[in-house]
Amino acid sequence: MPANKRPRRVNYAVNKKWPKSNGKVAKAISHYSKLQKRIWIEWETKWLTNAINIVLIKLKKYWIHPNNI
């Protein structure tokens, strides 16, 4: 690699002042409530069950209990 090339791995915004997880918790909560409404309307399908499992893993990661939603 020639010496006049800048390193690509250091290419990021240094002055970024917001967290990378901006809105992830709120989106996970709203996604869970939307899936619960779909289960109530469409009954429980395999796709909805898998989607609920994925959202429950996210909620567990953010330390949110589904009963509190």
**Domain count along the chain:** 1
Of 16-25, 29-38, 43-52, least confident by mean pLDDT is: 16-25
Q: What is the DSSP string of 22-34?
A: TTHHHHHHHHHHH
Q: What one-character-per-residue DSSP string does 1-27 give?
A: --TTSPPGGG-S-TT--S-TTTTHHHH
In a domain, 12, yes or no: no
- pTM for the model stands at 0.67
Asked if residue 14 has pLDDT above 70, the reply is: no
Domain contains 60? yes
Instruction: Give the pLDDT confidence score for residue 10 in this predicted structure.
Output: 61
Location of structure tokens 């915004």: 13
| Within-domain flag for 35 | yes
Give the chain's mean pLDDT.
84
Q: Answer whether residue 15 is part of any domain.
A: no
**pLDDT tier at 13, thresholds 50, 70, 90:** low
In a domain, 33, yes or no: yes
Q: Residue 47: inside a domain, yes or no?
A: yes
